[in-house]
A and B are shown apart, each in its own frame.
Chain A
């Protein structure tokens, strides 16, 4: 996957606005590893001037608290005044619910890492995902906690870690054809899929628990792994904070 993404992003102009010199140097080092072509702007106004002169960049990487216009003001200006809406990676130091309603943008919390640059590449490569129906929902967790953000983030972290571990156990059990234990583990993780309202995950667990046809178990396990991977990718994109701890 990284080769395909590298080909799509390599050589294309990525505009960065980052006043934090330490963070900027770190980002540049990582971008060099990824072969990204960076144009460094001192301020959001410099970036706007660059865009006016040179056209829409492939990606805008901007600090949330950029000056004189912050990230959201800069995006609004580009959209309203120049009719330009480039993909934007907004760099921030702390999560806020206000961030959630922005189209065509991804939130990346400092410090940078290669994994976070991977997330940005995924975001650029799949900009249409935001408009596709999500494979999970937070309705249940929101209802349960009255929208408690700390609880929801913590629950999603538990989901990704615990289900990943259990799926690894299931995959390993395929080697010994231990279908009874596979069913028991599927039974254990089924509520986790239900709590994020993943119907596909829930149905696959039900099949592994109650409707096992032995020849089909490896295929069902593979489908469950794929669905989990799909959900995790969406969660990581929507909640960059999940990768931190």
Chain B
């Protein structure tokens, strides 16, 4: 079963992502802030990361940098709001694979996760 790490600090968004991804057959692990995410990334392995870019304790760019240093091939999908175009552009420049706007479309989430995992699978 593919393991997906969700890094997100809005509990309602987390609940929805977790519900949908589990229903799609993935194992889901949650980190609610940057520190917790870094701990998990240091000690566990994942197949995909879904991450917010505005997190407590650490910026999104710092987090992406950390992931890319540790696991250059790890696919990353950024969770963004529709008005963060500059931040999304920067994230793509740092090597993220895709982005999903919050609140996400359920079908779009399924397709993008499947597509991103398929690229590396």
Listed by A's residue number, 16 A-B pairs whose Cβ atoms lie within 8 Å are A140-B103, A144-B16, A144-B106, A155-B15, A155-B16, A158-B12, A159-B12, A162-B11, A184-B54, A188-B9, A191-B13, A191-B103, A192-B12, A194-B103, A195-B12, A206-B83
Listed in ascending order, the chain B residues whose CB lies under 8 Å from chain A are 9-13, 15-16, 19-20, 54, 81, 83, 102-103, 106
* Residues of chain A within 8 A of B12, CB atoms compared: 155, 158-159, 162, 191-192, 195
Query: Contact between A143 and B106 (Cβ–Cβ < 8 Å)?
Result: yes
Flag if B16 contacts A187 (CB, 8 Å): no
A154 at the interface (CB under 8 A from B): yes
In angstroms, Cα B108 to Cα A147, docked, is 18
* CB closest residue in chain A, given B107: A143
Shortest Cβ distance from residue A57 to the other chain B in the assembled complex, whole angstroms: 40
Inter-chain contact total with CB atoms closer than 8 Å: 48
CB pair B19 A151 closer than 8 Å:
yes
Expressed in whole angstroms, the Cα–Cα distance for A140 and B20 within the complex equals: 13
Cβ of A159: which chain B residues have Cβ within 8 Å of it?
A: 12
- Map CB proximity to B onto A141-163 as digits: 1 under 8 Å, 0 otherwise: 10111001001001100110010
A232 lies within 8 A of chain B by Cβ: no
Contact check: which of A145, A148, A191 meets B81 at CB < 8 Å?
Answer: A191
The CA of A144 and the CA of B21, in the complex, are separated in Å by 11
Binary flags per residue of A188-225, CB closer than 8 Å to B gives 1, else 0: 11111011000000000010011000000000000000
| Minimum Cβ distance to chain A for residue B79 (Å) | 9
Interface, chain A (partner B; CB < 8 A): 140-141, 143-145, 148, 151, 154-155, 158-159, 162, 184, 187-192, 194-195, 206, 209-210
CB neighbours (8 Å) of A206 from chain B are: 83
Give the residues in chain A near B106, CB-CB below 8 Å: 143-144
What A residues does B19 contact at CB under 8 A? 144-145, 148, 151
Residues of A within 8 A of B102 (CB): 191, 194
Top 4 nearest A-B pairs (CB, nearest first) are A191-B102, A192-B12, A195-B103, A144-B106
Residues of B within 8 A of A155 (CB): 12, 15-16
Closest B residue to A194 using CB positions: B103
Contact A187 B103 (CB under 8 A): no
> Which of B13, B15, B20, B54 is close to A187, meaning CB atoms less than 8 Å apart?
B54
Among candidates A140, A148, A192, A210, residue contacting B10 with C-beta atoms closer than 8 Å: A192
Q: A188–B16 contact, CB under 8 A?
A: no
Give Cα A190–Cα B101 distance, bound, in whole angstroms.
Answer: 12
Q: A140-B103, A194-B102 are in contact. Are A188 and B10 (CB under 8 A)?
A: yes
Residues of chain B lying within 8 A (CB to CB) of residue A162: 10-12
Alpha-carbon distance between A188 and B16 when the two chains are bound, in angstroms = 15
| CB–CB B83/A158 < 8 A | no
